Structure 1
Amino acid sequence: MQIKHEIQVAGRNFGIEFGERGMLSDAAIFMNYGDTVVMVNANSSEKPRDGIDFFPLAVDYEEKMYAVGKIPGGFIKREGRPSEKAILSGRAIDRPLRPLFPKGYRNDVQVVCTVLSVENDNLPEILAINAAATALLLSSIPYTTPLAAVMIGYIDGEFIVNPTSKQREESALSLTVCATDERIMMIEAGAQEVDEDTMIKGIQFGFEACQPIITMQKELTEKYGKEKKVPVLYTLDAEIEKDVRAFAGEMVAEAMHIVDKAERSVKLDEVKAKVAEEFGEKYPEGKSDIAETLYLLQKETVRDMAILEHKRVDGRRFDEIRKLSSEVAVLPRTHGSGVFSRGSTQVMAVTTLGAIGDIQILDGVSEEESKRYIHHYNFPSYSVGETRPMRGPGRREIGHGALAEKAIEPLIPSEEDFPYTIRVVSEVLSSNGSTSQASVCASTLALLDAGVPLKRPAAGIAMGLFTTDDLVKEEVVTDIQGVEDFFGDMDFKVAGTTEGITAIQVDTKIAGLSPAVIEKSIRDAKTARLEILKVMEGAIKEARPEVSQYAPKIFTLNINPDKIRDVIGSGGKVINKIIAETGVKIDIDDTGKVFVGGSDIEMVKKAISIIEGIVKEVVPGEIYLGKVIKIMPFGAFVEILPNKEGLVHISKLDKKRVEKVEDIVDVGDEILVKVSEIDNQGRINLSRRDALIDMEKKEQAEKEQQ
């Protein structure tokens, strides 16, 4: 039986259909918001996966180009690897769902979200979060918590639920809030320096906007949900856990109280070696349970220190930032570089400036077709002292790069003010927590060092959380290091300037965050951010007045759009000739704006001069210094401006009668000519005779004045 259900969300139809499509999936639904349609299929394995210590949830977000009426680019003409936007969307679905599954659940679960139809006013990535949660609720998979997501905009002091395409362009805020009926599970935000009070109110507004969708999910689950499978949950062997706790509990606690990370790691390795020696023979099949027990001992120690003793592993106060340092111009030949360190977390960022034509072209279902500011993030194995193969960026690298890009993008100058494509690469040199926010800081330094006139410098910080199992006691900490991120309950990243917030990303490992935790995290993050910005200011206060000598020098000029074809020429003949002659790079947009760039300023000026000559109008009656390019029996063709030539008839070559053209001029000669007329076919008629007469008259007039 096909089930259809529909509600109104922000004045638009929000509907779901299921029952007759994808019958072999545990759950298969079509969810629509307006004309945007997402299909979700949810399935799980019958048995837990052996030999793992994590929940194997896989969320795939599939963009189909037919959803927006496009044929994929490239030679193959079919969808290939996911776009970065699709990868980020998949992560955004995974993050709020994962903590809501039963603890110890080890069955493989796959949620496939396929974008089938896209209406620009209604974003498929927001719809997919709602659809994924709804499909899991209706399935037999042991997932039972309703979860909804909305986007919040902010225009003229008013919050807007799921803003339309036009409203998103005008909005100072792009805020995604994902919530249950009690708490907030995920926050993702990009903002135009929005103040803390507004952000806090916007998050609460988003929480309330989620509730009608949650009510719908509850009603559908009660009526049509499948009976849930009883999960087989992983539990530790009670005897192993008891023995390991008794043997290693005090040693682990002692190790975790060591402030220095390196010393702490050495001590923990010693404890692990002793435990292996003690129980290796007694429990030959219990290695994973022994490792899990040691993990729990470390986690409990860190959490008890924070909640019961009000202490942090490294001895800092809860609101204290680790030691900070900043430096710029660390690389001699790059366009801009900077290094930012916070404790043993260290990131180097490098800025490269390119021509406008170097923009990144995007092939996907989103409205965005290109990017002028590009941020890439690399997290090599050596940053954590490990060895592993060096491969391409994974979900984590793409996600962290996108977050740093989101934090800085609102501060990038316009194309009119700074006609460059800008790429920043963040290289994590050392990682001990919150490299994404260190990337924001290092990238700001590198951009300023490159001479990019940012609206204001940006910095970022990550807040952490420790709670009791009943979520009654909550302790927020500033600037989490790796061990606090690993054993804590929250990673609350906030980036911005002295004036406000530009980006937020929040992940949690528990059943959501309270309003009090969210508010304290945002306010404490501001205090920390201002402190970091002061340290960064010591390295570089504002953008360098000029770009690096190694960066291209780019100039712009505006031409009549009707003249674009003259500059380009047939088959690109004219523009390619200019490029070959000067070595510059030239980009022209449809409005007639021309960008000319190159490392040799003289060649750039020469190219501009040639272009100006091409687009300059030939004026009848004016005299030009032209070059003879061709001789015919009836006259000479003279180029008076780039790509503009006219005919000097043999009768107009001199004041006296001319028998042969060669008697007066040869190819390559430069002569003065006057434009006699431009006929109705655009042909230019020239006269050397008239030019000579005019010049004689001018000379005579000057003599008489003397």
Structure 2
Amino acid sequence: MNVITKTVSLPDGRQITIETGKLAKQADGSCTLRMGNTVLLATVCAAKDAVPGTDFMPLQVEYREQYAAAGRFPGGFTKREGKASDDEILTCRLVDRALRPLFPSDYHAEVFVNVILFSADGVDQPDALAGFAASCALACSDIPFEFPISEVRVARINGEYVINPTFAQMSEADMDLMVGATADNIMMVEGEMKEVQEADLLNALKAAHAAIKPMCEMQYELMKELGTDVKREYCHEVNDDELKEQVKTDCYQKAYDVVKQALEKHARAEAFEQIKEEFKETYAAAHAELTEDEMEEKFALVDKYYHDVEKDAMRRCILDEGVRLDGRKTTDIRPIWCEVSPLPMPHGSSIFTRGETQSLTTVTLGNKMDEKLVDNVLDKSYMRFLLHYNFPPFCTGEAKPQRGVGRREIGHGHLAWRGLKGQIPSDFPYTVRVVSQILESNGSSSMATVCAGTLALMDAGVPMKKPVSGIAMGLIKNPGEDKYAVLSDILGDEDHLGDMDFKTTGTKDGLTATQMDIKCDGLSYEILEKALAQAKAGREHILNCITDTIAEPRAEMKPQVPRIVSIDIPKEFIGAVIGPGGKIIQQMQEETNTTITIDEADGVGHVQVSAPNKDSIDAALAKIKAIVAIPEIGEVYDGTVRSIMPYGCFVEIMPGKDGLLHISEIDWKRLETVEEAGIKEGDHIQVKLIDIDQKTGKYKLSHRVLIEKPEGYVERERRPRPERGERRERPQRGDRPQRGERRPRPSFNNSEADREAPAQPAVETPKDFTDALDKFDF
């Protein structure tokens, strides 16, 4: 084995080690990345040649986490890793978006990048290392790749920018960004913030880029040592320069004229298509000697060259005349109209339409039972704010089936979720689900989801801290030119044909989320600063349209929304409310038609009661409060007889709290048995709490104190019982009879006079009576 190891240090001194030549040696390139106890294996394989007819970069990135990495078993019946989780897919997208623009434009072989988490202790965050590991695997291969890249997470903690913070540090961060870059340019940004300013975002990007540069330099050293700085040769395109020039000469001006007509999406697409088809007809007529197969090959080249002509015409029209595809200026926002409550039964709903992009969004409010369980390798928690984004084919006029949720939908929904989640109050008792259905799409549908989500949340009565709006910015910048144009609220074609897709969401006070993809080389911080300032103006305009439709959350929720009340109870009463095997809480839910959940946190029990109406909630709360209430001496309770004993009966004065009603405390008269008082199990009886044993906590009850005392009643004196450990007083030794001496019998004289009178002589028994007794045989 030719094992090579490289090390790079983070700004705080922590080290990342890259090792190659030891594992997965049959892949085109592989490496092991280690940081602390976190270990990732990255591999890359590429096909030897491109599939005929492929005119794009068929890159596929996979990121998977093994449960064994954290010493855990996977859930489910099979106890085996299944399909990728949402978090794994989001990490795949982060790596893909940074790598894809850096392959040569004429390289079309299939490339598969796999990153696997094999070890993690829950300290360092592995998703921040996946991009670096993937790029190092490419650096270890001969696959054509223009520049090595790296990715880092940057967080602002107590005013300081921290690179690749730990899980524990993230709890104190007000900014969480993933940044991918080459040694010279930033390529990808995604993250969330707590209403920070644009200047803070720029400073975070600079800190991240400074940490990435040494990682890229290390990869150049690795390539030289391995000899992979010389990449494989390939030929995935056959070009015809004469045809390329002819397409440009015949079609450029026509395409430029279509750009200036400011047509709507489908009309513009048809006009562009017509120009291409007319050229094909003219070309076919002029080259009738070509065979059918040869003509098909030429037409495929025409499609490719015409796309470049269309792209160039659009870009030159913007740069030279400041006119965009739909006739807007670079800073203009498309027309907006909004509506709330378009649907009668959802808890909240809205329509947000901006130009040819439209979102119909609904909000559903539920209880704690509706929370989502997140069961990832390093994260097992519950999520109470959900946002789902759906992009059906009909929204772009396509006739094709919908095959489940794709990675794009997960990524766009996650960005909108990040933009909104910080404005949901932490003490809001409901679980919230936002669903955005994209009904029309022509650019920036994820930002339309943010705007429609804000409207629907306020329509549902969710007390948002502040409304949020979002916008997507574009960039036109040709290589070698200083002239550039930043575009507000880009169209789908401007995203496809442009150089940047920069999305930002925020409130009136600052940014809440961002996502940026760069397709060109050399994006300066000056351009980023201008794009952020222009985006802020656009967001404020859109925010005014939102607040004109609904200024603040509704004061009252709609009648169909289930009501939820939350209370806190002492930790020691959680078991009493739940009962053995959940018996008590299940009985309460059944009797009151409510849903009751209990969650222990911060040393208390958080109880949530939900029901369709207030009466049911009040009934459940009364039962819970009765369980957690502390009985007080002197209070009178309406109790239930639970069991009868020879010495009394046990009476339940509160749910789960029984006290002893001694037989002597049932009535003023003396009772031999409890049954004499007519008491049976299940009877209701009023009792008063007269004492609580301080050591055992047992309750002493009395019923007779609540009934009138009989006239002339004299309480019997009772010798007080000795305290625990105290001996009962015994008579003195001199008062006891001596050995052999008989104890004097007690006198049965009752009156005082009789007791003081002298003893009478014994009466002699008659003799005849004695004789009579002798006749009997005893």
TM over 0.5: yes
Q: Are 2:336 and 1:324 equivalent residues in the alignment?
A: yes
Partner of 2:151: 149
Structure 2: distance between partners of 1:283 and 1:634: 109
Partner of 1:592: 605
Partner of 2:685: 671
Partner of 1:700: none
**Is the 8 Å Cα contact of residues 155 and 170 (structure 1) preserved in structure 2?**
yes
Instruction: Specify the SS of the correspondent of 1:168.
Output: helix
Instruction: Specify the SS of the correspondent of 2:49.
Output: strand
Q: Are 2:25 and 1:8 equivalent residues in the alignment?
A: no
Partner of 1:38: 40
In terms of mean alpha carbon deviation, does 224-233 or 495-504 score higher? 224-233
Partner of 1:516: 526
Partner of 2:354: 342
Structure 1: distance between partners of 2:697 and 2:651: 15
Partner of 2:565: 555
Gaps of 5+ in 2: 285-291, 712-778
Structure 1: distance between partners of 2:502 and 2:599: 41
Supply the AA of the counterpart residue of 1:606. A
**Is the 8 Å Cα contact of residues 386 and 417 (structure 2) preserved in structure 1?**
yes
Q: Deviations over 1:141-162 (max 9, x none)?
A: 0113121222222233322222
Deviation at 1:636, TM superposition (A): 4.8
Partner of 1:489: 499
Supply the AA of the counterpart residue of 1:311. V
Partner of 1:478: 488
Partner of 1:454: 464
Structure 2: distance between partners of 1:347 and 1:574: 46
**Of the candidates 406, 409, 417, which is equivalent to residue 397 of structure 1?**
409
Partner of 1:528: 538
Q: Deviations over 1:267-317 (max 9, x none)?
A: 234445545555576713444323223322221211121123322111111
Instruction: Specify the SS of the correspondent of 2:45.
Output: strand
Gaps of 5+ in 1: 697-706
**Is the 8 Å Cα contact of residues 177 and 203 (structure 1) preserved in structure 2?**
yes
Q: Superposition pairs for residues 346-361 of structure 1, below 5 Å?
A: 346-361=358-373
Instruction: Specify the SS of the correspondent of 1:163.
Output: coil
Structure 1: distance between partners of 2:381 and 2:457: 24
Distance change in 2, residues 1:695/1:485 (3 Å): farther
Q: Are 2:647 and 1:645 equivalent residues in the alignment?
A: no
Supply the AA of the counterpart residue of 1:291. D
Structure 2: distance between partners of 1:66 and 1:694: 75
Q: Superposition pairs for residues 56-95 of structure 1, below 5 Å?
A: 56-95=58-97
**Is the 8 Å Cα contact of residues 137 and 225 (structure 1) preserved in structure 2?**
no
Deviation at 1:240, TM superposition (A): 4.7
Supply the AA of the counterpart residue of 1:314. D
Distance change in 2, residues 1:285/1:309 (3 Å): same
**Is the 8 Å Cα contact of residues 636 and 661 (structure 1) preserved in structure 2?**
no
Partner of 2:475: 465
Deviation at 1:466, TM superposition (A): 1.0
Distance change in 2, residues 1:601/1:434 (3 Å): same
Q: Are 2:620 and 1:626 equivalent residues in the alignment?
A: no
**Is the 8 Å Cα contact of residues 158 and 172 (structure 2) preserved in structure 1?**
no
**Is the 8 Å Cα contact of residues 627 and 640 (structure 1) preserved in structure 2?**
yes
Structure 1: distance between partners of 2:94 and 2:7: 24
Q: Are 2:433 and 1:423 equivalent residues in the alignment?
A: yes
Partner of 2:723: none
Deviation at 1:621, TM superposition (A): 4.0
Distance change in 2, residues 1:694/1:435 (3 Å): farther
Deviation at 1:266, TM superposition (A): 3.3
Distance change in 2, residues 1:296/1:626 (3 Å): same
Structure 1: distance between partners of 2:159 and 2:574: 43
Supply the AA of the counterpart residue of 1:350. T
Q: Are 2:550 and 1:546 equivalent residues in the alignment?
A: no
Partner of 1:257: 260
**Is the 8 Å Cα contact of residues 49 and 236 (structure 2) preserved in structure 1?**
no
Deviation at 1:6, TM superposition (A): 1.5
Partner of 1:224: 226
**Of the candidates 692, 704, 719, which is equivalent to residue 689 of structure 1?**
704
In terms of mean alpha carbon deviation, does 254-263 or 307-316 score higher? 254-263
Deviation at 1:120, TM superposition (A): 3.5
Partner of 2:762: none
Instruction: Specify the SS of the correspondent of 1:400.
Output: helix
Deviation at 1:647, TM superposition (A): 4.4
Q: Deviations over 1:184-243 (max 9, x none)?
A: 111112101001111112212221221121221122122224241012232444455455
TM-score, L = length of structure 2: 0.85
Supply the AA of the counterpart residue of 1:66. A
Deviation at 1:630, TM superposition (A): 5.5
Specify the structure having the higher radius of gyration (Cα): 2
Partner of 2:387: 375
**Is the 8 Å Cα contact of residues 139 and 225 (structure 1) preserved in structure 2?**
no
Supply the AA of the counterpart residue of 2:640. K
In terms of mean alpha carbon deviation, does 51-60 or 230-239 score higher? 230-239
**Is the 8 Å Cα contact of residues 142 and 229 (structure 1) preserved in structure 2?**
yes
Instruction: Specify the SS of the correspondent of 1:655.
Output: coil
Q: Deviations over 1:469-503 (max 9, x none)?
A: 33643211111011111111110001111111111
Q: Deviations over 1:650-683 (max 9, x none)?
A: 5433333556637534565432112345566665
Structure 2: distance between partners of 1:191 and 1:167: 15
Q: Deviations over 1:89-146 (max 9, x none)?
A: 0010010111111112110111101111224442211111111111112211011312
List 4+ stretches of structure 1 deviating above 6 A. Answer: none
**Is the 8 Å Cα contact of residues 411 and 454 (structure 1) preserved in structure 2?**
yes
**Of the candidates 87, 98, 101, which is equivalent to residue 100 of structure 2?**
98
Structure 1: distance between partners of 2:401 and 2:710: 77
Distance change in 2, residues 1:694/1:40 (3 Å): farther
**Is the 8 Å Cα contact of residues 338 and 549 (structure 2) preserved in structure 1?**
yes
Partner of 2:722: none
Structure 1: distance between partners of 2:380 and 2:642: 48
Percentage of identical aligned residues:
39
**Is the 8 Å Cα contact of residues 472 and 504 (structure 2) preserved in structure 1?**
yes
Deviation at 1:258, TM superposition (A): 2.8
**Is the 8 Å Cα contact of residues 650 and 661 (structure 1) preserved in structure 2?**
no
Structure 2: distance between partners of 1:130 and 1:71: 28
**Of the candidates 608, 616, 619, which is equivalent to residue 621 of structure 2?**
608
Instruction: Specify the SS of the correspondent of 2:616.
Output: helix
Instruction: Specify the SS of the correspondent of 1:612.
Output: helix
Structure 2: distance between partners of 1:305 and 1:232: 33
Partner of 1:198: 200
In terms of mean alpha carbon deviation, does 664-673 or 271-280 score higher? 271-280
**Is the 8 Å Cα contact of residues 628 and 670 (structure 1) preserved in structure 2?**
yes
Structure 2: distance between partners of 1:601 and 1:51: 66
Q: Deviations over 1:425-480 (max 9, x none)?
A: 11111111001111111111111111112221111100001111336432111110
Deviation at 1:376, TM superposition (A): 0.9
**Is the 8 Å Cα contact of residues 20 and 32 (structure 2) preserved in structure 1?**
yes
- Where relative contact order (Cα < 8 A, 6+ residues apart) is larger, the structure is 1
**Of the candidates 617, 623, 627, which is equivalent to residue 630 of structure 2?**
617
Distance change in 2, residues 1:101/1:472 (3 Å): farther
**Is the 8 Å Cα contact of residues 259 and 324 (structure 2) preserved in structure 1?**
no
Structure 1: distance between partners of 2:481 and 2:594: 62
Aligned residue pairs total 694
Supply the AA of the counterpart residue of 2:422. P
Supply the AA of the counterpart residue of 1:86. E
Structure 1: distance between partners of 2:683 and 2:551: 56
Structure 1: distance between partners of 2:653 and 2:468: 53
Structure 1: distance between partners of 2:53 and 2:145: 23
**Is the 8 Å Cα contact of residues 635 and 661 (structure 1) preserved in structure 2?**
no
**Is the 8 Å Cα contact of residues 259 and 317 (structure 2) preserved in structure 1?**
no
**Is the 8 Å Cα contact of residues 344 and 432 (structure 1) preserved in structure 2?**
yes
